[in-house]
Structure 1
Amino acid sequence: MAKRLVAAAGAVIFGAGVLVGVDRSVAVADPDPAAAASVPGIGPCRTDAKPEHEALVPKTVEVPVVYPAVTVDPGPPPENTKRVKMELPSDPCVNPCPELTDQQTTTPPDLAQQLGLPKLIIRPQPFNFALPNPNPPTLPPGPDPAHPPVEQAAQTPPRPTPQVSDVTEVAKLTGANSVNRTDKRWQVQGTDLGIMWQSAPDEIAIAFGDTVGRDFHPPGGMGEDWRSNLLAFSKNRDLSNGVVFDHMVTDDRCHASELLSSKKLDNIEITTIPTSGFALGDRQYMSYMSIRTWNSIPGTWYTNYGGIAYSDDHGEHWTKDPYAKWENIFGVSNFQVTAMVPQGDWVYMFGIPNTRLGGVGLARVPKDQVLNPTAYQYWQTDAWVPAVNGLVTATPVVDAPAGELSVRYDADRKVWQMSYLDTAKAALVVRESDSPQGAWSDSAVTVSALQYPELYGGFIHPWSTGKDMYFTMSTWSDYNVYLMHATLN
């Protein structure tokens, strides 16, 4: 879905990830893609090939040819409400839907492939200039305006920089030959992100971004059966062999369902991507960003707004709240990409502007007012302050650049942890703090682009311990999700 450029040297944002050189001999993490294969019952099958990372030189190159198009904004797209419950075979080696997932089409190699060059696909793509929707939807009554006070909030002293060691690749979680065989069970060939939150005391929810099924050809999410987002659930606590999916939300046999619809019209709304999630009682919340267009500069994008959706049936169906959203005014507004964390009486919202180049702002809201944007307070220098006439300003708690925020509160240690993609360091990094507003420690590298040249993500597993930090990582060249482990000393 995004565009690729070739970099001659240096650190370059590449598609959805970061490219730094091509020498994989300089390693920070020690990949062990076969780690989960030694544990019977959680896959992959013994007969499956060991997962291998894709080469930086792709087998297929898809070139979009953009042309202007004038259209009418169709308004909110209908949500897919169809759901089909499916029971998976007890044997993970059994393909539950071979008639759907084992269909292979073979075409004779073209001249470029015969010469060892990447296959070239030219794809026309409209860039839309929209006329207003003549029949805008009628909104329900909004929440009563709140008038939160100004409250002082000093920073705490910075913690020491985390000491990171023994970083390893635990398992491939999605795609072919993964521990979950998502290609066979849910027609998920390529996907990214892997955003996790505790959806119940004994369960983790995992949200994914743009997903493709048949005819998947990396780099990036290229292929057919495009879904903007998916959701899986897992109960296994032994993460040393990967995160095992118990089920995914499905709308048909062996087909993971899109949860939040998108118009899929470039320059209107091309997709809607989850950014974080949390649960309060029986209600699940998911923050997301409505992306207007992927920019021509790789790794950047332009959002319409950042919003919040909720589910009252444990993630099966979701509602985008029409008022809980932060518009992207002039393309520089904060809280477009957010990480929301409940703690105590509050839900804290860490946010950055669209792209991966901004600093991290911070807001908070009472737990019973999550969907009321007027109830939020924003941290400014030394106090929590409300928005003024709808204008939101927040002092950065972490300086730019930051992307793909993941924040959690480690209740055992009473410490806040933040992981994100630092495009200046070309790495996933981690910081710690004694309070959400900081001061945050200096960042420590967990995984470097020197080994995974197109990495991004870095979403912390909620069941990480103080010493053992598990997190997901995506790579643009593979366009799938991996579980990583780091020891924090």
Structure 2
Amino acid sequence: MTGPRSPNRTYDRFSISGTDLGIMWDNGAQGEDRQVLMAFGDTFGDCSLPDQQWRHNVLMRTTDADLSDGIDVPDPVPGDPRAGSPVLPSAPDISRELVGSLALDGVEITVIPTAGIAVDGVQYVNFMSVRSWGDHGEWWTNASMIATSTDNGETWQLDPATARINLPLDVPTVQQLSTGNENFQQHAYVRHEGYVYDFGTPQGRFGAAFVSRVPETALLDLAAYEYWSGDGWVSGDAAVATPVVPPAVGEMSVQFLGGEFVMLYGNEANGTIEMRTSVRPEGPWSEARVLVTHRRIGGLYAPFIHPWSTDTDLYFTASQWGDYNVILLRTTLS
């Protein structure tokens, strides 16, 4: 999907030589305006330049519904909220950053998207603020926080009231409801029966998965969230959340397909991309089914389900560490 050798020629058209993630969601529009939006993490362009054209996050858009030959992304057009990627008039071939970062190791080295969803014409993306990197699959976060866009991803506004702090401190004007926010530093969103179900994992790739839910009209109100305790839904207390999937759950995505919920994630401990299914978001979730192993495709992580998948054609992106780019894969629920 991305990289100089990809069919999308992202280096020539978007100044993207390397990037990862490729989080996808339906923008919720109708007719010709319906698109899939794709958010990417740390992105690099011309690596001969001092800053390597580093952007902490970028966005692409597509209307391509025939995924059998890949995902086609149209050209970027400055100021066009339906074009292939947000760009500036002064740099029409450089996908611009969505949300900035201090870029200081030990303080805030980057800000990375982990989940996206659309509700009533508003785009929501949850970002994690990364304080520093550790060994492979390990990092430390300051917080996760939601940003919104009302122009189809062209511009974004972070909402400080949605911050889930992962530090032993208090932040003025930011409501910290309880401990337990450390388990919702990375997210996966899915809409169902009037709720947005918000799956969470801790920083890094070695924690368990937890789940909360919120009325889809109250996504920015942390006090409106309910958490699955193992016995039922408990309002407003993230500390009661119990794991619904055991470790090690890396970056994950969840969709409702074929009458059941489908979860994909990377298992860093085993070097696998795994799938689980359940008839309810809180589970019980099936045993893990291995889709891809590191022996087949090395360095693979972060599987994100394409929202226009079906039970017979489940498409998902994944990132490959070797060339630091995003590829498209296909499987079926059977």
After TM superposition, give the deviation of residue 364 of structure 1 in Å.
0.6
> Which residue of 154, 164, 188 corresponds with 1:316?
154
- What is the CA distance between 1:425 and its match in structure 2? 2.4
CA deviation after TM superposition for structure 1 residue 336, in Å: 0.1
Aligned 8 A contact 2:137 2:206 in 1: no
**Separation of aligned partners in 2, 1:215 and 1:397:** 41
**Are 1:392 and 2:239 matched, yes or no?**
yes
Structure showing greater Rg: 1
Gaps in structure 2 of 5+ consecutive residues: 75-83, 169-179
1:329 Cα deviation after fit = 4.1
TM-score (norm. length: structure 1): 0.61
2-structure distance, mates of 1:462, 1:216: 36
Structure 2 equivalent of residue 327 of structure 1? 165
Q: Considering Cα pairs closer than 8 Å and 6+ residues apart, tell me whether 1 or 2 has the greater RCO.
A: 1
* Correspondence 1:205 to 2:66: no
**Which of residues 236, 255, 258 in structure 1 aligns to 2:94?**
255
Structure 2 contact 65–308 (Cα < 8 Å) conserved: yes
1:441-452 aligned at under 5 Å gives the runs: 441-452=286-297
Q: Deviations over 1:40-72 (max 9, x none)?
A: xxxxxxxxxxxxxxxxxxxxxxxxxxxxxxxxx
Is residue 377 from structure 1 mapped to residue 226 from structure 2 by the alignment?
A: yes
Q: How many residues align?
A: 308
Q: In structure 2, do the counterparts of structure 1 residues 341 and 226 end up closer, same or farther at CA, with 3 Å as the change threshold?
A: same
Deviation of 1:392 after TM superposition, in Å, equals 3.0
CA 1:332–1:355: 2 relative to 1, 3 Å: farther
SS in 1 for 2:319: strand
Deviation of 1:223 after TM superposition, in Å, equals: 6.5
- Aligned partner of 1:408 among 247, 255, 270: 255
Does structure 1 retain, via aligned residues, the 8 Å contact 2:137–2:268?
Answer: no
- TM-score between the two structures when normalised by the length of structure 2: 0.89
Flag the 1:416–1:248 CA change in 2: closer, same or farther, 3 A: same
- Distance in 2, Cα, partners of 1:236 & 1:368: 28
Q: Which residue identity is paired with 1:335?
A: F
Q: CA deviation at 1:216?
A: 6.7
Structure 1's unaligned 5+ residue stretches are 1-172
Aligned partners of 1:223 and 1:194: how far apart in 2?
Answer: 22
1:326 deviates by 1.0
> Aligned residues: percent identity?
42
Q: Post-superposition shift, 1:477?
A: 1.0
1:487 positional shift: 2.7
Q: Secondary structure at the match of 1:250?
A: coil
- For the pair 1:214 / 2:49, whether they are aligned, the reply is no
Distance 2:321 2:197 in 1: 30
Q: State the match for 1:120 in structure 2.
A: none
Distance 1:488 1:358 in 2: 25
Please give the residue correspondences for 1:217-296 in structure 2 after superposition, counting only pairs within 5 Å: 224-246=52-74, 247-251=84-88, 252-295=91-134
**Cross-structure match for 1:187:** 15
Give the residue type in structure 2 aligned to 1:184: D
Q: CA deviation at 1:387?
A: 3.0
Q: 1:467 aligns with which of 303, 312, 315?
A: 312
- SS of 2:24's equivalent in the other structure is strand
Q: Distance in 1 between matches of 2:48 and 2:218?
A: 41
Alpha-carbon contact 2:119-2:217 (below 8 Å) kept: no
Partner deviation per Cα, 1:418-441 (whole Å, 9 max, x = no partner): 000012321111111000000001
8 Å CA contact 1:287, 1:340 repeated in 2 = no
Contact conserved, 1:213 with 1:223, CA < 8 A, in 2? no
| 1:453 correspondence with 2:312 | no
Which amino acid in 1 is paired with 2:128? M
